[in-house]
Amino acid sequence: MSTSSDSFEPLTRALEAVPRLKELAWRSPERVVGSREFQKWREDTTAAIADMYGPESAQARSFAGIQYAPTHFYFGASDETYRQVYFRGLDVAATTIRSMLEEMGEQRGDRDSSSTA
What is the value of pTM for the model shown? Answer: 0.83
Per-residue pLDDT reduced to its tens digit, 39-88: 999 999 999 999 999 999 999 999 999 999 887 766 667 888 889 999 99
Tally the C-alpha atoms within 13 A of residue 72's C-alpha that lie toward its C-beta: 1
Angle at 20 between CA 101 and CA 94, to 5 degrees: 25
Q: For the CA atoms of 100, 104, 106, 108, what is the dihedral angle to 10 degrees?
A: 180
Per-residue pLDDT reduced to its tens digit, 4-34: 556 789 999 999 999 999 998 887 777 888 8
